[in-house]
Amino acid sequence: MKILITGGLGFIGSHTAVELQKEGFDVVIIDDLSNSSEKVLEGITAITGKKPIFEKMDLRDKKSVEDFFGKHNDITGVIHFAASKAVGESVENPLLYYENNISALVYLLQQLQKKEKAQFIFSSSCTVYGQAEKMPITEDAPVQQAMSPYGNTKQIGEEIISDVAKVSGINAILLRYFNPVGAHESVEIGELPLGVPQNLIPFITQTAIGLREQLSVFGDDYPTPDGTAIRDYIHVVDLAKAHVTALKRLIDSKNTDKVEVFNLGTGKGNSVLEVVKAFEKVSGKPLNYKIVGRREGDITEAYADTTKANDVLGWKAELTLEDALASAWKWEQKIRS
C-alpha cells in the first residue's frame, strides 16, 4: 500500500518513513525542502534499502496538490507532517504560519474527501493544552487558548479535520506529540535544525561539540523540584512507530470514532537540569551552561498520561531519555565529522 508522507524529509517524517518501509508500505514523500535536505533520502534508503518516491512540492500550491493526487490516485493514506513549527518565528510572522499550516491542510483534505475511504494521520502537539491544570495530561484535558500562532494552527487544524471527517470518508487520528528527541540508532538520519536551534536537545549537542559557546537554561524559578521546567522527552523512533500503529488502526477500521486523539509521550517528566545531567552522563562530557531568565511563552510542566495510547492505540514508548540523548550525541558527532 502506497502512503503519502508530507514533510517526509523532516525530523519526525524521515524516521516515520523508515518505520513504514520496515512494515512493508511503499512511501511517497512530498517536501518543500524549506527545513530539510534531499540528502535525507539517502539516509532513509541506507537504513531500509528502499528509496522512497520523492516529489519536491510546495503544498500551498493548490494546483500542484491536485496534480499530485491525479498522478497518484491510488493514495488513500496520508501522514501529514509538513508545517512550519518554530513557536517564536510564528509570533513574528503569523501569516506565514496560517498560510503554510492551514492552506496546505485544506488542499490535502479536499483531495482525500473525494475518496470512498481515506486514512489521515495529523501531526499535532501537546502545545494545544497550554499549561494543563493536572499532570499527567490526558486527551480530555481542555484545549486552551493557544500561546502562539504555531499552537493555534495545530488547534485550528484539528478542528478542520474533525469537521471534514464528519461529512466524508476520511478517518483521522490526531497525534499530540510531547517533546520529540534523539536520532535513529544507525545515525543515518536525525534532527537537522537550521540556524540556531530553538529546542533544548540540539542546543545541548551543539554546545557539547563546540558549535555553541554555552547553553542558556531558561529559568530556574519555576515551581518544580529543581526550579527548571519539566517536559516529556520522547524518542523520535518510538514516535515514528506510533504513526505506523495509528495508520494500521485506520486501515484495519479498528477506530471507534471518525476522529481519534492520542497523546504521545513516555509518561515521565524531566526537568531541564535533569536532561543536562543525563547528557553529561551519557556523553562523559561536562556541559557549559548558565541559568538565565525564563523564555517568553514557556509553560512550567507537561508530561503525558499514556493510558489511552497504551491501552487503546496499543503503543508504548520503549526507549529512554538516556537512549535519546546518546543517539542525539552520536548523530551530532557524525554530522560534524
Interacting residues toward ligand WQD by CB under 6 A: 85, 87, 125, 127, 179, 198-200, 203, 215-218, 229, 231, 272, 295, 298
Torsion of CA 5, 8, 14, 17, to 10 degrees: 20
Minimum distance from residue 1 beta carbon to ligand WQD (Å): 27
Q: Are strands 289-292 and 215-218 parallel, antiparallel or unpaired?
A: parallel
Supply 140's cell numbers: 480530555
| Minimal distance, residue 17 CB to ligand WQD, in Å | 18
Task: Say how far apart CA 31 and CA 38 lie, in whole Å.
Answer: 9
Shortest Cβ 73–ligand WQD spacing (Å)? 31
Helix/strand/coil percent split, the chain, to 5: 40, 20, 40
Task: Give the nearer residue to ligand WQD in terms of CB position, either 41 or 126.
Answer: 126
Question: What is the C-alpha separation between 101 and 280, in angstroms, rounded?
Answer: 37
Query: CB-based contacts of 167: which residues, under 8 Å, 6+ apart?
Result: 113
Q: Looking at the chain, how many residues does it have?
A: 337
CB of 220 to ligand WQD, least distance (A): 9
3-class SS of residue 159: helix
Residue 124 CA to residue 116 CA, distance in Å, equals 25
Rounded least distance, CB 56 to ligand WQD, Å: 23
Distance separating alpha carbons of residues 24 and 304, to the nearest angstrom: 30
- Residue 168 or 176 having the CB closest to ligand WQD: 176
Q: Which three cell numbers stand for residue 118?
A: 481515506
Q: Considering only CA atoms, which of 3, 53, 40 is closest in space to residue 186?
A: 40
Q: Among residues 7 and 77, whose Cβ is nearest to ligand WQD? A: 7
Q: Which helix (H) or strand (E) segment is 249 a member of?
A: helix 236-251
Closest to ligand WQD by CB, 171 or 207 = 207
Nearer to ligand WQD, 23 or 298 (CB): 298
Q: How far is the CB of 135 from ligand WQD (least distance, A)?
A: 14
**Residue 150 bears catalytic tag:** yes
Q: Which is nearer to ligand WQD, 17 or 272 (CB)?
A: 272
- Selecting among 97, 107, 129, 150, the annotated active-site residue is 150
Q: Using only the alpha carbons of the chain, give its radius of gyration.
A: 19
Residues carrying an active site annotation: 150
